Structure formats: structure tokens, C-alpha cells
A and B are shown apart, each in its own frame.
Chain A
């Protein structure tokens, strides 16, 4: 069974708006990662947050982690049409040998 579950399944916004995606998971984790997948391509690693961290930033990306609620959120600020893609969270357990992915959020940014 999948470890992470993203919400919403699909999100459509206008260029310049912020996009927020959520991820919930079931078991204890060592870290949580977010990936982007453009249509027909492989996944690209965006950001990793460890279980002892609460917030992390990378450019226009902001990730939060609440281990008490077993949830994470990815915020993309000032979105661009090029941000149109599917976004996946992945959780690592123990030594992160076994990464489990959710079903993803499909983000569409309209110009």
C-alpha cells in the first residue's frame, strides 16, 4: 500500500497565484521528499525535509512537516506556467532504503 497520499488530486490556478499541495502518511518516517514529474518524463527531486525539521525553503518552494499529524504541505509561490506538472510526496523509513510514493497532485497553471 502507498505510504503517502496527496491532496488534492488536481489543482488548477492562474499564473502568479500560490499553489498548495498536501501529503498525509501513515507510519513513522525518517524524512519526506517532494518530486515533480512533467508529462511523459521521469521524476525530479525538489526538496527533502527530515523528521526533526518543521519547515524548509528552496527558491519558490516551501515545505512544512507536522509529524504529530503525519502530514506535509508543499507551497509553490508566484506560480508559472512552467510549474504545470504532477507533484508527488515520498516518505523514507528507517535508512530510506525503501521510498514509498503517493498518487500525486496534478497542478495546472494557466497563463
Chain B
């Protein structure tokens, strides 16, 4: 199994540009989440989904959109990139139930100039 795959691994954007960070998992996990990690801040939840067609906001959703049309894919869209969105983005997935931890992707390092 590939687990959770994130693409691209690195990206540089200019302020105002839009882009989509891709996340795919092959474990048939219903739950998927997007986090951003900034130095000294830990991970902050952006958006999450408990199944296809269902999404919800996390702690820091502004400037980001998500959709969940399939169980496997959970793309994160930056509508108009800002320097404050420079960060490392992680996608994670897990099975339902309170006894399951998240499987994380290897991350996308995004720089907005």
C-alpha cells in the first residue's frame, strides 16, 4: 500500500496565484484531514472530512477550500495565495472509530512570495 500520497512535495507561488494540493489515500479510510505546520505552532487543522460529500472547517479554514467527491481523494485549494500561507501542509487519513490514529502523508512545502 502507498498509504497517503501528497503532491507536489515542493511549490513556490506568487501572491495571488491559486493552486491545488493533492492528497490521495489507498486504505479506504473515511476520515481525512488537512493540517498546516508552522515553526513553533505545531499542527493546525484546516479542513476535515468524514466521508465522500462531507466536509467541515477546522481551526484555520480561511483562504482554503476543500471537496471530497471520492473516498480516496481530498484536494486542498488555495484560492488566492498570500505570504501568510507559507507553510508545510500535511494530509492525514484514518478509519472511523475512536481507537484509530491518523496516517500522515509526507507533506507539501509551500512558499508564497
Contact = CB atoms under 8 A, between A and B. Distances in A.
Contact of B41 (A45, A50, A103): A103
Contact of A48 (B43, B58, B59, B99): B99
A44 B98 contact: no
Would you call the interface of chain A mostly helix, strand, loop, or mixed? strand
A82 interface: no
Contacts of B4: 42
Contacts of B74: none
A98 B58 contact: yes
Contacts of A44: 104
Interface residues of B, number: 29
Interface residues of A, number: 27
B43 A101 contact: yes
Contacts of A99: 33, 45, 102
B98 A96 contact: yes
A72 interface: no
Interface of A: 1-2, 4, 30-31, 33, 35, 41-45, 48, 50, 88, 90, 92, 95-104
Given A31-B98, A35-B101, A98-B48, 13 more contacts: A1-B59, A4-B42, A43-B90, A45-B103, A88-B42, A88-B43, A90-B43, A97-B48, A98-B45, A98-B58, A99-B102, A101-B44, A103-B40
Interface of B: 4, 31, 33, 35, 40-45, 48, 50, 56, 58-59, 90, 92, 96-107
